[in-house]
A = this chain, B = another copy of it.
């Protein structure tokens, strides 16, 4: 009774172990289930996932390559901290990628590309209507990814997706710390961006994306800056 003989029949196929561990860990980090700065123990994870340490290490190496964990040599690896002091550099990059991907979508999209964009926008609107912050974060990222894919530049797409992933952590903290109401205006801005892309209005798409991104950046930054100032006053 102390151990189940076949508690979880290893129905996972060869080659899926490392990927499964990677996906799970990545989600847990981005969803703050594993908080920034927390230590990661390979043996513990190996037991939890029912695999040996080898796939665990492979997943950790990949996560380290994406900057989601930091590995200290011969010492434990930790979930990466969020650099609140340099948040502005993050938003600089994010806004630029908002602009570039939306511009390129307006230039290069094909009519069929609009379908996934509209589908993502629909889900985003539902999340906002339901005041579901977590779903809003995900569907917003999906919406912009769909636009970036219509822009057809894989380099921008990869970089953008990395930024959006990191933003997932920041936005979770934002909505956890400060129960902001989800603004309906984001939905309208998205609609305007779709319209600009559809009529291939590059200048308008750029301007809308810039305003959209800067608005988000301003909201988040003002909160964290306030928090930072509070910390300084203690």
Contact = CB atoms under 8 A, between A and B. Distances in A.
A163 interface: yes
A15 B155 CA distance: 32
A96 B90 contact: no
Interface in A162-209: 163
A14 B174 CA distance: 41
A100 B89 contact: no
Chain A, interface SS category: helix
A212 interface: no
A104 B100 CA distance: 17
A61 interface: yes
A158 B96 CA distance: 15
B92 A153 contact: yes
A210 interface: no
A222 interface: no
Nearest to A22: B61
A111 interface: no
A49 interface: no
Contacts of A100: 96
Contacts of A163: 155
Contact of A14 (B58, B74, B152): B74
Nearest to A71: B15
Nearest to A92: B153
A11 to B, nearest CB: 17
Interface in A64-97: 65-67, 73-74, 86, 89-90, 92-93, 96
A143 B90 CA distance: 23
Contact of A65 (B65, B74, B90, B93): B65
Contacts of A158: 67
B15 A89 contact: no
Interface of A: 14-15, 54, 57-58, 61-62, 65-67, 73-74, 86, 89-90, 92-93, 96, 100, 104, 152-156, 158-159, 163
Given A57-B58, A65-B66, A86-B154, 16 more contacts: A14-B74, A54-B54, A62-B62, A62-B65, A65-B65, A67-B158, A89-B153, A89-B154, A92-B104, A92-B153, A92-B155, A93-B155, A93-B156, A93-B159, A96-B100, A159-B159
